[in-house]
Structure 1
Amino acid sequence: MSHPPESPDFTDMTVAADVAFFAKALTSFVKSNAKFNVVCSVGRRHVFPPSSSSAAVPSPLMVPTRQRSQIHNLVILDSSFNPPTLAHMGMVREALQFLQKRPATQIYAGSSPSSSSSAPSADSKSTRLLLLLSVNNADKAPKPATFEERLALMLAMARDTQTVLASLSDGCIDIPIDIGLTSEPFFHNKSNVIATDPFYNHPDSFAVPGTNTTPHQYFLLGFDTLIRIFDQKYYKTASGETIPEGLPPTATPMQILLTPLMRRAHLHITTRPDSDWGDEKTQLEWVASHVDGLGGPTERWSDKILLFKSGAETGASAVSSTVAREASRAHDTARLEKLVGPAVRSWLLQRLPYEDLQQ
């Protein structure tokens, strides 16, 4: 087995330049009134020089070029990234390994009968990863880290993730990692704007008859987020919305708004055993007994939900953004090593975004 190259040392990285770049991108995004935009992309070439020579690592701080070949799978990690942790990276690694190893017929066996899209390929060459930050409150100063600081931390996480992916399967998982912004607060709207944005849509000139030009979405979520997605209080009205084909006229607001998301996506859920939602068995039973009833008789939403263990046995349950913020504020380098990737850690120790964090 070949060994991955060493991750470059970002200790001397110009943190201020990263923040300035993303501050400009954020301002432009807010002024545009756009609902979604990809800010930049990080490929493996942005992390590792092309050879063992002294070649500099190319800067990822540029508007990305849309991929010309068809993208089958779009893996989406939507988070506050405040800061991104090893738990976030673990969700990404698990999802990409799952997509690489499982046949498409197994991954997408639960597609709605009314869906006309063909099963996406599990080939990592047709996969992209999107790190997505929602800034629907961009006119307010977020605490304790600003949006531009979180975007810069997402860039650091992307670099750490490329290092991890280079160490897996002899480095076979090599995908672009995009950093994106959205003004949408709800998942069904995020899914819609991503699906209709030209960045990920396959150009018509390359389309193959009978295939879907929109990538299959693969959202990475915690169980607590899954609970919120299926909370009726977020879907009190669907006035003005077209009822999706195949749903009855009596469809509920939740069914009208969530059906497009559930037909085009899978939800990769990391279980989080706790006192509120019980153990993993209880969470599995909740999905099996509760979700399909919400979708109605024509949809099988539970087939689109994939549950995975939290990794508590490896200590992943102790990793959280809250704990990482506390370690950063305390300048606890040793603790940060167990919570965040090396580039994120380096960035946090330079920028110190959580100095004013209340104890």
Structure 2
Amino acid sequence: MPQPSASPPDPADKMAAAEVSFFSKALAGFAKSNSKFEVVCTISRRHVLPTPFPASNISPTPTTASSLPSPLVAPSRQRSQIHNLVILDSSFNPPTRAHMKLATSALVDVRSPLRQPDTPYLSTRLLLLLSVNNADKAPKPASFEQRLTLMLALARDTHVELAALDDPARPLLDVAIDIGLTSEPYFHNKSNAIAVSPFYARPSFPSASVDRPTPDQIFLLGYDTVIRIFDPKYYPKTESPTIPEGLPADATPMQIALTPLMRRARLRVTTRPDDQWGDEAAQQAWVADKVDALGGPTEQWASKIELGAGDSSTQGVSSTVAREASQAGDTEKLSQLVGPEVLARLATLKPYDA
């Protein structure tokens, strides 16, 4: 009796397996390198949307086009100088529409001619950063290679969102999206590892500007993360510390650790009103009244922090809620919490199934 023929493998399953394998090898290579920071993948708009890409032709599932190049290649450094590096550092467990909104709103603001009227084309990149040594969270339930695969899906969703917001005649939002790994658990060390990495360094050619050896860093954070950054418990006293130039000899361990970060970076913070931290006004007041005192009289840390209310469309959206919806098999609710590409990968990988 003839046996029924096996059904052909699902293309989505094959692609997801290839992505997990790619990131598994990237993680192994990163661990062997003893590096503190590495970009493992770069996703350009051309990897996601066909060219030309007028807004009227944008598809909700653009990555199904077989003619698009694969983003699973070793990233190459940008040939021109990078001026702004927008950094979204998270556990991405899983990445949600709130993550995507943080990224897109920051890029719209940074690339706006109103923000930089004289030079609206200053080069900008987005870095999705995953720490494999998180100070507060263990790597569960999704594995790191699964999270990186979901971050790739987030990058695709973000490109579609940016293209829909962009002006095809003057595409300010066509930015490269990097996926990076760091072994550093704390923000000031992550910032330094990125700053000293050759990947974002000023290109070494004669016409390159010398006033910006590395990009300005713009970290996208929630208010709860800012509270942790300025918590003294993360900065124990050390013997013979290297005190940054301009700080007094009696600088606190926090000032010694955070001053380089606050001199090179800006913190773009989404307020999170709740019973513990108060409403938005209370959070604004805490930054205005406390942060400068923590930094000392010479640094003016509060001026480097930009607070803003979260978007109403992502209220109640969190990775915890998304995990619960995924575990419950509630696809309808999950589709409201994550982008379509992330949703498709969650359906294939099932990282949160019991």
**Would the alpha carbon gap of residues 122 and 268 (structure 1) be closer, same or farther in structure 2, given more than 3 Å must change?**
farther
Query: Which residue number in structure 2 is paired with residue 335 of structure 1?
Result: 333
Pairwise CA distance, 1:180: 0.3
Consecutive unaligned residues in structure 2, runs of 5 or more: 1-10, 58-64
Matched, 1:42 2:39: no
Query: Which residue number in structure 2 is paired with residue 145 of structure 1?
Result: 142
| CA distance in structure 2 between the aligned counterparts of 1:281 and 1:102, rounded to whole angstroms | 29
Q: TM-score, normalised by structure 1?
A: 0.87
**Would the alpha carbon gap of residues 266 and 102 (structure 1) be closer, same or farther in structure 2, given more than 3 Å must change?**
farther
Pairwise CA distance, 1:13: 6.0
Q: Secondary structure at the match of 1:257?
A: helix
| CA distance in structure 2 between the aligned counterparts of 1:347 and 1:218, rounded to whole angstroms | 28
Whether the aligned pair in 2 keeps the contact of 1:42 and 1:177 (CA below 8 Å) is yes
| CA distance in structure 2 between the aligned counterparts of 1:246 and 1:101, rounded to whole angstroms | 34
Pairwise CA distance, 1:141: 8.1
Query: Which residue number in structure 2 is paired with residue 33 of structure 1?
Result: 34
Whether the aligned pair in 2 keeps the contact of 1:331 and 1:349 (CA below 8 Å) is no
State the AA in 2 paired with 1:45: R
Question: What aligned pairs does 1:166-245 form with structure 2 within 5 A after superposition?
Answer: 166-171=163-168, 172=171, 173-206=173-206, 208=208, 211-245=211-245
Whether the aligned pair in 1 keeps the contact of 2:271 and 2:283 (CA below 8 Å) is yes
State the AA in 2 paired with 1:331: G
Structure with higher Rg: it is 2
| CA distance in structure 1 between the aligned counterparts of 2:107 and 2:294, rounded to whole angstroms | 29
Q: TM-score, normalised by structure 2?
A: 0.88
- 1:48-99 residue CA offsets vs partner (Å, 9 max, x unmatched): 1235997611100011110011000000000000000000001001111111
| CA distance in structure 1 between the aligned counterparts of 2:286 and 2:77, rounded to whole angstroms | 40
Pairwise CA distance, 1:239: 3.5
Pairwise CA distance, 1:128: 0.4
| CA distance in structure 2 between the aligned counterparts of 1:150 and 1:122, rounded to whole angstroms | 36
| CA distance in structure 1 between the aligned counterparts of 2:25 and 2:298, rounded to whole angstroms | 46
Pairwise CA distance, 1:101: 2.2
Matched, 1:89 2:90: no
State the AA in 2 paired with 1:162: H
Q: Secondary structure at the match of 2:167?
A: helix
**Would the alpha carbon gap of residues 255 and 242 (structure 1) be closer, same or farther in structure 2, given more than 3 Å must change?**
same
Whether the aligned pair in 2 keeps the contact of 1:68 and 1:202 (CA below 8 Å) is no
Deviates further, 166-175 or 264-273:
166-175
State the AA in 2 paired with 1:211: D
Whether the aligned pair in 2 keeps the contact of 1:71 and 1:202 (CA below 8 Å) is yes
**Would the alpha carbon gap of residues 216 and 42 (structure 1) be closer, same or farther in structure 2, given more than 3 Å must change?**
same
Query: Which residue number in structure 1 is paired with residue 344 of structure 2?
Result: 346
Query: Which residue number in structure 1 is paired with residue 74 of structure 2?
Result: 63
| CA distance in structure 1 between the aligned counterparts of 2:94 and 2:149, rounded to whole angstroms | 10
**Would the alpha carbon gap of residues 352 and 55 (structure 1) be closer, same or farther in structure 2, given more than 3 Å must change?**
closer
**Would the alpha carbon gap of residues 141 and 281 (structure 1) be closer, same or farther in structure 2, given more than 3 Å must change?**
closer
Pairwise CA distance, 1:240: 4.4
Q: CA RMSD, aligned part only?
A: 2.3
Pairwise CA distance, 1:205: 2.1
Whether the aligned pair in 1 keeps the contact of 2:134 and 2:185 (CA below 8 Å) is no
Question: What aligned pairs does 1:241-280 form with structure 2 within 5 A after superposition?
Answer: 241-280=241-280
Consecutive unaligned residues in structure 1, runs of 5 or more: 1-9, 107-120
Q: Secondary structure at the match of 1:226?
A: helix
Question: What aligned pairs does 1:290-301 form with structure 2 within 5 A after superposition?
Answer: 290-301=290-301
- 1:207-231 residue CA offsets vs partner (Å, 9 max, x unmatched): 6565121100000000000000000
Q: Secondary structure at the match of 1:84?
A: coil
- 1:138-189 residue CA offsets vs partner (Å, 9 max, x unmatched): 9x98211000000000000000000000011325210000000000000000
Whether the aligned pair in 1 keeps the contact of 2:13 and 2:348 (CA below 8 Å) is no
**Would the alpha carbon gap of residues 15 and 280 (structure 1) be closer, same or farther in structure 2, given more than 3 Å must change?**
same
Whether the aligned pair in 1 keeps the contact of 2:39 and 2:181 (CA below 8 Å) is yes
| CA distance in structure 1 between the aligned counterparts of 2:99 and 2:235, rounded to whole angstroms | 28
**Would the alpha carbon gap of residues 12 and 267 (structure 1) be closer, same or farther in structure 2, given more than 3 Å must change?**
same
The alignment of Structure 1 onto Structure 2 pairs a total of residues equal to: 330
**Would the alpha carbon gap of residues 288 and 203 (structure 1) be closer, same or farther in structure 2, given more than 3 Å must change?**
same
| CA distance in structure 1 between the aligned counterparts of 2:76 and 2:195, rounded to whole angstroms | 17
Whether the aligned pair in 1 keeps the contact of 2:81 and 2:208 (CA below 8 Å) is no
| CA distance in structure 2 between the aligned counterparts of 1:95 and 1:294, rounded to whole angstroms | 26
**Would the alpha carbon gap of residues 99 and 230 (structure 1) be closer, same or farther in structure 2, given more than 3 Å must change?**
same
- 1:277-301 residue CA offsets vs partner (Å, 9 max, x unmatched): 1110000000000000000010100
State the AA in 2 paired with 1:160: D
Q: Secondary structure at the match of 1:205?
A: coil
State the AA in 2 paired with 1:21: F
Q: Secondary structure at the match of 1:221?
A: strand
**Would the alpha carbon gap of residues 217 and 323 (structure 1) be closer, same or farther in structure 2, given more than 3 Å must change?**
same
Question: What aligned pairs does 1:119-134 form with structure 2 within 5 A after superposition?
Answer: 123=120, 126-134=123-131
Question: What aligned pairs does 1:311-326 form with structure 2 within 5 A after superposition?
Answer: 311=311, 313-314=312-313, 316-326=314-324
State the AA in 2 paired with 1:256: I
**Would the alpha carbon gap of residues 126 and 238 (structure 1) be closer, same or farther in structure 2, given more than 3 Å must change?**
farther
